[in-house]
A and B are shown apart, each in its own frame.
Chain A
Amino acid sequence: MNTYKAQIKITLRKGILDVQGKAVEQALHSMDYDIMENVRIGKYVELDITAQNDGQAEEFVKDACNKIIANPIVEDYEITIVEKV
């Protein structure tokens, strides 16, 4: 068995109005950062996981994301599995 670190990035799905992102975007524009747009705010979750290999680790994390870590109705997630140092 190996220990891995799972890095999970969660964002609101495209098409769902991100009101926090909008508020930050307005603040940026009021600071004259007109070059910045489409602000989306998300969450980052990190956890250690023991599994036979990285593929199995990813499967477990994906399962946990669908059940609790993310809300698939409104959120997308991206999982990165890295070898723990």
Chain B
Amino acid sequence: MKFGVIIFPGSNCDHDALYATSANLGSESVAIWHKETSIPEDVDCIILPGGFSYGDYLRCGSIASFSPIMSEVIKFANSGGIVIGICNGFQILTESGLLPGTLLRNENLNFICKDVYLKVENNDTVFTNEHNQNEVLRIPVAHGEGNYYASNEVLKELEKNNQIIFRYANAEGEVCDNCNPNGSLNNIAGISNKEGNVLGMMPHPERYSDEILGCKDGLSIFKSILNRVTVNS
């Protein structure tokens, strides 16, 4: 299978994502400049990487969501293509309307850069089939605006449809207030769309995909995507 990593001006986790999916996962991956107006036909999964697209001007992800490639990414997602947005990529997905809600300034106003624990809330997805239900992953976050917010109605829908894929938890997998790094509602760290083919998450799985980094809990997310695409092809 082939991953396509979109590069916006200001992306800075694009090479990590390319490396994690090629060198670590052993799949193919290709970089796609944001000014492109088409996605290569053999790409099975689009990654919107972390970073500070357009310097976070106006709102994080808002300007990138109108980049030329994004109308193609929206079409790709709407026709069932797999899309994963990591950190700034998650912000781009909410700004472009592919995922509900938005990401506000962290509650404590700090830029938070540390390892967190995530509880896998739904392992029956394209992104988590490699995991056990309630498995705990250690993955780093690095963001200033990761405080997930949505209206009560949207939150209820997310809960009802099992769209909350990851929640901030402690090492034992307990979802608690003091393990919520940024004030996200319901400890939300990652959500999918209703159809299940688009995932947005604040933590960075591509940064924990290589043994040499001391933890490769993130690789299993890319492995899950590979599983699903290989089964379907």
Residues of A whose CB lies within 8 Å of any CB of B are 16-17, 19-20, 23, 68-69, 71, 73-74
B59 to chain A: closest residue by CB: A71
Q: B107 in the interface, Cβ–Cβ < 8 Å? A: yes
Known: A71-B62, A73-B149, A73-B150. A17 touches B102 (CB 8 A): no
Supposing A73-B151, A74-B149 touch, asked if A68 and B66 sit within 8 A by C-beta, the answer is yes
> For A17, A20, A23, which residue has the most chain B Cβ atoms within 10 angstroms?
A17
Q: How far is the CA of A19 from the CA of B58 in the complex (A)?
A: 18
Cβ of B172 to closest chain A Cβ, rounded Å: 29
Interface size on B, residues (CB 8 A): 18
* CB–CB A20/B105 < 8 A: yes
A19 to B183, CA, bound (A): 11
Question: In the complex, how many residue pairs between chain A and chain B have their CB atoms under 8 Å apart?
Answer: 30
Pick 27 A–B contacts, CB within 8 A, sort by A.
A16-B104, A16-B149, A17-B183, A19-B104, A19-B105, A19-B106, A19-B107, A19-B108, A19-B109, A20-B105, A23-B109, A68-B58, A68-B62, A68-B63, A68-B66, A69-B58, A71-B59, A71-B62, A71-B95, A71-B102, A73-B101, A73-B102, A73-B149, A73-B151, A74-B102, A74-B104, A74-B149
